[in-house]
Amino acid sequence: MLGMLLDQQIPLEKAFVGPYRLAERMGVQRLDAAQIADYDPAAFAELYATPLAIHRFPGSMAERTQKLARAIVDEYDGDAATIWTGAKDGKDLFKRLSALPGFGKMKAQIFIALLGKQFDVRPEGWREAAGAYGEEGSLRSVADIRDAASLAKVREFKKQMKADAKAAKP
Omega of the bond leading into 52 within 30 degrees of 0 (cis): yes
Does residue 32 register a pLDDT over 90?
A: yes
Residue among 68, 74, 116, 77 at smallest CA distance from 93:
116
pLDDT on residue 78: 97
The rounded distance, in Å, linking the Cα atoms of 16 and 3 is: 4
SS3 96: helix
pLDDT on residue 100: 97
pTM of the model: 0.92
- Confidence bin at 164 (pLDDT 50/70/90): confident
Question: Residues, the chain, total?
Answer: 170
Question: 127, 137 in Cβ contact below 8 A?
Answer: no
- Confidence bin at 166 (pLDDT 50/70/90): confident
Does residue 148 register a pLDDT over 90?
A: yes
Distances (CA, A) of 80 to 17, 124, 136, 165: 18, 20, 26, 33
Does residue 26 register a pLDDT over 90?
A: yes
Q: What is the DSSP letter of 144?
A: G
| pLDDT averaged over every residue in the chain | 96
Query: Mean pLDDT, to the nearest integer, of 109-117?
Result: 98
Distances (CA, A) of 69 to 16, 18, 75, 170: 17, 15, 10, 39
The rounded distance, in Å, linking the Cα atoms of 136 and 91 is: 18
Query: Mean pLDDT, to the nearest integer, of 14-34?
Result: 97
Query: Mean pLDDT, to the nearest integer, of 104-133?
Result: 97
